Amino acid sequence: MLDRPVGGQDILRGQLKHVLDLVERENVEVRVLPTGIGYHEALIGPFTVLDFAKAQSVAYVELVNGAVYVQDQDQVNGYNRTVDRLREVALSPQESAEVIHSRLPT
């Protein structure tokens, strides 16, 4: 999103301001993954790991024509390892907010 603006300056400004508003929430952590790191496992496609207090974790994997819920815990653990590796190379939350702010169209 930061390096591929779609929809014009007004839409981009609104999107980035919304993300900066989310950064202020206690339960949200935003981290920018610099494009300069090259290949990483999340390039294959978007996914979310859902953790629950009273149920097993699930990975939600988006596909071109839908999505799947991965319930096998070994596979879910693989998604968690991917998240951990991405956090290692991503900018800190503060650095990420600064980068997002610097991309706001004037």
pLDDT tens for each residue of 68-101: 999 999 999 999 999 999 999 999 999 999 999 9
pTM of the predicted structure, to 2 decimals = 0.80
Q: How many residues does the chain have?
A: 106
Strand ranges inside the chain, DSSP E: 47-50, 58-63, 66-70
Is residue 5 predicted with pLDDT exceeding 90? Answer: no
Which pLDDT does position 106 carry in this prediction?
79
Q: Residue 2: pLDDT above 90? A: no
The residues near 56 (Cβ < 8 Å, ≥ 6 apart) are 71, 73, 76
Q: Give the domain ranges of the chain.
A: 1-32+92-106, 38-90
pLDDT digits (tens, 9 = 90+) for 9-59: 899 999 999 999 999 999 999 999 998 888 888 888 899 999 999 999 999
B/e letters for 2-14, b = 16+ CB within 10 Å, e = fewer, are beeeeeeeeebee
